[in-house]
Structure 1
Amino acid sequence: MTDDEITAVQQTAVTPAQRLVVALAAVHAARAKTTREIRLDHIDLAAHRITIAGHRHALGDFVREALLDWLAHRRATWPRTTNPHLLVSAHTALDQNPVSHFYLKKHLLLRGVHLEHIRGDRILTEALATGGDPLHLATMFDLHPTTATAYADTALNILQRAIDNPDR
């Protein structure tokens, strides 16, 4: 992502829920559907761990702060909700369902924040940092081998261009 794109996301994602969803995509490459399905019992604040799509991840400071902000907002807004999902809305606070696809679309996509773009950028950044290791990408982000190989190939092409054209 360009600096302008990152700035635009920072200026758009201003609510605790928006910041959390963006943080999960930017750090853990979490898909929108996966984020909607995260439950409170998938979070272990004491151990600094989060489980996303069945995979445990370290909970770094950036995501942890966004998570704590959201949890404080959630408690203040819906103190009596029994919804087990991390994200809740005015509609889902009264039941046990995750927020809808439209919830994230309304709060992010329609405002110009494309989670898949953020997610893809995160995976490509990891591919560049690891020298295009498809096994690492597949393991870290639960990618299909074909997808992991495509990201690795893209990273290797970028790295090769940087070697061939060091002045660019």
Structure 2
Amino acid sequence: MDWATIRRYAHYHVPVLRKWGKRVESLREITPKDVEDAVAAHTGNSAHGVHGALRSLFRALKRERVVFRDPARNVSATYVKNAPRRIPSDRLAGLLDRAPTAMAKAAVVLVAIHALGSTEIRRLQLTDLNRSVGRLITHRRSDRHTVYLDELTLTLLTAWLRERAERWPRSTNPHLFVTQVTALGPEGPPVAKYGLQPIFTQLGLQPQKLRIDRIFDEAHETADPVHLMRVFGIAPETAMKYVKAAHPHRFIKDPTQA
């Protein structure tokens, strides 16, 4: 396994192992009921993570003959994913006014209006932005998505580019967003993984929740999954999830048709 996978699994199963360690001497004593209880103590993605981590752990231990049987092998779990929730309007009001810098305002508007993710924003290149036609190209794992920019977003991006040029006129970094650390980096690195986080922390919001709120709000207005796919570049399954959450009454099965 790669290090990221190991770290993710450890994040989920180490707390469980510590709890078990208070009452058993060996993992050979763990039963399927113990695994079921450990998973049941969590919900949503957390339950999914614990279940997967424990199955991987015991599968490896049995393969190495550390345990004689795999107590997690036949344990199944149902994960109830939380429906997206809208952020209260009073928390969204004045976001841009409270954003302290031109870079902060530009980053916030890309999330709040266009529902871009932090990773997408960090990877944006200067060549991805075409201000003359009002378009921005975002690159994703398997494809790319065209964002059609509104006047406000264009204005804020232009203000950021102006400030960037004034602060670091000799910067050759190809990324749209740079910081004091990356602007003059000879290799042109992107903003660090958590480099944008302080912007949203200061505003009291998480970028992922802000992104979810934007898509959820659009789903309320249109109820058209194809529209959501086109505007935000999301998968059909994801688009349907938002439409169902925004309009649950449309998906209630008529008992007379069962």
**If the TM-score is normalised by the length of the shorter chain, which range does it land in?**
0.7 to 0.9
Residue 49 of structure 1 aligns with which residue?
Answer: 135
**Which stretches in structure 1 are left out of the alignment for 5+ residues?**
161-168
In the alignment, the residues of structure 2 paired with residue 159 and residue 128 of structure 1 have an alpha-carbon distance, to the nearest angstrom, of 12
In the alignment, the residues of structure 2 paired with residue 117 and residue 158 of structure 1 have an alpha-carbon distance, to the nearest angstrom, of 24
- CA drift of 1:57 comes to 2.1
Report the count of equivalent residues: 159
Q: Is the 8 A contact 1:128 1:159 kept in 2?
A: no
| Structure number having the greater helix percentage | 1
Q: Is the 8 A contact 2:172 2:183 kept in 1?
A: yes
Residue 14 of structure 1 aligns with which residue?
Answer: 100
Of 1-10 and 29-38, the range deviating more from structure 2: 1-10
Q: Report the identity percentage.
A: 31
Q: Is the 8 A contact 2:135 2:146 kept in 1?
A: yes
Provide the secondary structure at the position in 2 that maps to 1:92: coil
Cα RMSD for the two superposed structures: 1.9
**Alignment equivalent of 1:114, drawn from 206, 228, 245:** 206
Instruction: Summarize deviations over 1:45-95 as a string: whole Å, max 9, x none.
Output: 111111123212222111001101100110011110000000001111122
In the alignment, the residues of structure 1 paired with residue 120 and residue 162 of structure 2 have an alpha-carbon distance, to the nearest angstrom, of 22
Higher Rg of the two aligned structures: 2
Q: How do 1:58-77 residues align onto structure 2 when only pairs under 5 Å count?
A: 58-77=148-167
In the alignment, the residues of structure 2 paired with residue 44 and residue 133 of structure 1 have an alpha-carbon distance, to the nearest angstrom, of 28
Look up the equivalent residue of 1:41 and give its one-letter code: T
Higher relative contact order (CA 8 A, sep 6+): 1
Instruction: Summarize deviations over 1:97-139 as a string: whole Å, max 9, x none.
Output: 1101221112323552321122111101211121x22222223
Residue 114 of structure 2 aligns with which residue?
Answer: 28
In the alignment, the residues of structure 2 paired with residue 12 and residue 119 of structure 1 have an alpha-carbon distance, to the nearest angstrom, of 18
- CA drift of 1:7 comes to 2.9
In the alignment, the residues of structure 2 paired with residue 15 and residue 103 of structure 1 have an alpha-carbon distance, to the nearest angstrom, of 14
Residue 39 of structure 1 aligns with which residue?
Answer: 125
**Which stretches in structure 2 are left out of the alignment for 5+ residues?**
1-86, 252-258
